[in-house]
Structure 1
Amino acid sequence: MQELHDAPLAPLTTFRLGGPATRLITATTDAEVVAAVREADDAGTPLLIIGGGSNLVIGDKGFEGTALRIATRGFDLSGTALELAAGETWTDAVARTVEAGLAGIECLAGIPGSAGATPIQNVGAYGQEVSSTITEVVAYDRTTRETLTLTNAECAFSYRHSRFKEHPERYVVLRVRFALEDADGLSAPLKYAETARALGVEPGDRVPAATARRTVLELRAGKGMVLDPADHDTWSAGSFFTNPILDDAQLAAFLARVSERLGPDVAPPAFPAGDGRTKTSAAWLIDRAGFTKGYGAGPARISTKHTLALTNRGDATTEDLLALAREVVAGVREAFGITLVNEPVTVGVSL
């Protein structure tokens, strides 16, 4: 293990924001990860787990405690069964499965971060979620001090949520196992209309998995969602807010506000979300509340490519970012009566 003191954390995040950690440990094996966690827990030291840093908003004061960077490696593909170490770079792993002619995660290409983070958020995009292919997650349980293997059902996946997110201080993901599909080099059936349109096919159709991956990367790049050090639109955490899910009463109140504000002929995006609930679009809400692409006059602004991404234009602080986020939340609430929820994990700060 590598150990540093008063270590900068900003370079370990895609926002490039945040102050230093009292101590930073980089672990390259599962045993080192578990040992570092146990040491911190035994000493009563606050612990911050860092993977790819693509879903973290760290306060300007930094983190008083031990930051543990998981840098484990392991890509084991046997037939259609895939096991990834938590520290594997997710987008590289997706590329390797597509090269192997397998389907199931090809539309999750270009998502920054590590494999270990994917079950925590139940990462999803362009019609796919990792919960549809994950079979097991190996995690260290800080309460029982044991390494557990949890089945898909035990992970309690839902939209951008899981057992691990529900109990953020309890589990440390070590390995993730997937069941992919051998469809003779074809993708899984396309579920996302934008992807199908870009490919000139219908939802439900299959295309070569490599073509699906390439198309998703192009779509994401057009929205500033593929990391590029030279492009400040990618100095973000991707989608900063989750799409709101509304019950019947909330939906009725929302539609009334839309009609009052924008006119009776305006229909906001609405998608079934299970249990009689409806999901609407956070990006649509932000845009229609007046926060358009490029909004902001300071060093933290809305992306010029996508209204759902808040960005660091190069010299922002975390407080600059949070001020913008709070402004957006307040504006959407005033306009439509919906309170947006941040998707990234905040450390030492809150909205």
Structure 2
Amino acid sequence: MTSFADITTIGVGGRIARFIEPTSRVGVIEAVEDADSKGLPLCVIGGGSNMLVADAPFNGVVVRDARRQITVPDEAAPVENGERIVHVNAEAGCNWDDFVAFTVELGLEGVEGLSGIPGTVGASVVQNIGAYGQEVATTVESVEVWDRRDKKTMDIPATDLGFGYRMSKLKASMYTAPATPAAEFFPTPRYIVLSVTFALRHSATGTVGYGQLAKALGVEVGDRMATKAIRDAVLKVRAAKGMLEDAGRYANPAMAGTKRADQIAIAVEAQRRAKQAESSATGSSTSSDHPDAETAPLAPDYNRHSCGSFFMNPILTAAAAARLPEDAPRFNATLPDGTPGVKTSAAWLIDHAGFHKGFKVSPDAQAGLSTLHTLALTNRGDATAVDIATLARTVQDGVEAAFGVRLVPEPVVVGLDLR
């Protein structure tokens, strides 16, 4: 029986009563409708990278869209009138990084900075994923959804999706307040993503829009570089911070077919090289040192056994931000009510509250902060969801005591209370 531990990047969570992988658009809608009509708990999951699910059995239905087709209705090259916008449609079950790789290979600009983010195309718009100066919101033209309340399909233009920092109209339908699930739609939004249409730009180069990325490329913010060079640099920077998924998860039968085989091979080889470099630097040995290293099972990288960034960067009022230490990061931002606010760094707050890289609540704890990045809560091998939640609450309480700021989890948290 499939469990959430099998299909999430953090590798925890209870067994699933019914796991369905529809291979057609109608099949997705029917699976959702069947669960809703019977009043069963429903979880529509993508790549499992942004979820923390309780250890108890999930006595409901989990739907994972098995449709992964990408189509290009426009000309893939600039047309005679100089129009450079290219529309690309991807089915919701398409692996997100497969989609990014496809667009870069096709010579399109717009999502290269979002390389390496685990998950699916459908989940990308729910969460409005962002990194290294890009957000998915800036390239989405429209989203086709199934409306669970009104029982109909609809196309929602980007202007009506309510995109904000790690937020969309889709995600908002699951919550009544930060980290507070809504009674009607949770852990699955009212709107089930069926496909997404992106408006990308035909260009072999992209803009380097983030300082850390510019440093890695040896250029200035705002410079233009080959989109492939940007993608490669993003993957290296994310790997150095442990913010890529463990490529070994695709050897799990429950993950079969969910990612392009060529992209899995690239990720596995890159992870092997990273582990070899790490072992050389520390003088330790790994399975990568084995004579049959290229065929041996990939050694687990526990820093990658996470939900990615576990807490959102807080957006505060000017008054609340003024109470932070003078050296706390501050960026202009917009509060949920549309008024000006100040964004600060959750990672900075965690570290300066005394929770440093590798922190555990006890020496033998199976959950700990990544040894590379304080914003990632990781499963060090045999953690349970309760172990992860205990670590999360410890960090939340400590940051609140130090700075008066309650960190809000970024993942969808099912069966646990992390408010």
What is the TM-score normalised by the length of structure 1? Answer: 0.93
Superposed displacement of residue 62, structure 1: 2.7
Q: State the one-letter code of the partner of 2:16.
A: A
Taking the aligned partners of 1:66 and 1:92, their CA distance within structure 2 comes to 26
| Partner Cα separation in structure 2 for residue 9 and residue 197 of structure 1 | 38
Are 1:178 and 2:198 an aligned pair? yes
Q: 1:136·1:176 contact (CA, 8 Å) conserved in 2?
A: yes
Which residue in 1 is equivalent to 2:34?
39
What 5-or-longer segments of structure 1 have no aligned partner?
Answer: 1-5, 259-265
Q: Identity of aligned pairs, percent?
A: 47
- Displacement of 1:149 in angstroms is 0.3
| Contact 1:29-1:73 at 8 Å conserved across structures | no
- Structure 1 residue 350: deviation in Å? 1.7
What are the superposed Cα offsets for residues 115-134 of structure 1, whole Å, 9 maximum, x if unpaired?
A: 10001110000110000000
TM-score, normalization: structure 2? 0.78
Q: 1:269 — aligned with what?
A: 329
Residue 199 of structure 1 corresponds to which residue in structure 2?
A: 217
* Aligned 1:287-298 pairs, distance under 5 A: 287-296=351-360, 297=363, 298=365
Mapped pair 1:227 → 2:245: yes
Q: 1:164 aligns with which of 170, 174, 181?
A: 170
Aligned residue for 1:283?
347
- Greater shift after overlay, 300-309 or 44-53? 44-53
User: Shift in Å at residue 43 of structure 1?
Assistant: 1.2
- Match of 1:269, as an amino acid? P
Secondary structure (helix, strand or coil) at the match of 1:286 reads helix
Task: Summarize deviations over 1:172-197 as a string: whole Å, max 9, x none.
Answer: 111011111112x001x222111111
Q: Distance in 1 between matches of 2:331 and 2:90?
A: 32
Which residue of the partner structure matches residue 262 of structure 1?
Answer: none
**Offset of residue 9 of structure 1:** 2.2
2:374 paired residue among 304, 307, 310: 307
Q: How does 1:1-351 map to 2 (within 5 A)?
A: 7-77=2-72, 78=74, 79=76, 80-168=86-174, 169=185, 170-183=190-203, 185-187=204-206, 189-228=207-246, 229=248, 230-254=300-324, 258=325, 266-274=326-334, 275-296=339-360, 297=363, 298-351=365-418
Mean alpha-carbon deviation: is it higher for 23-32 or for 132-141? 23-32
Question: Which amino acid is 2:127 matched to?
Answer: Q
| Distance across 2 between alignment mates of 1:322 and 1:303 | 15
CA RMSD, aligned part only? 1.1
Cα distance in 1 for residues equivalent to 2:70 and 2:87: 11
Q: CA shift at 1:100, angstroms? A: 1.0
Amino acid at match of 2:358: G
1:102-151 Cα offsets, whole Å, 9 max, x none, are 11000000000111000111000011000000000011000000011000
Contact (CA 8 Å) 1:72, 1:87: kept in 2 or not?
yes
Q: Distance in 2 between matches of 1:68 and 1:182?
A: 35
TM-superposed CA distance for 1:158, in Å, is 0.4
Does structure 2 retain, via aligned residues, the 8 Å contact 1:51–1:71? no
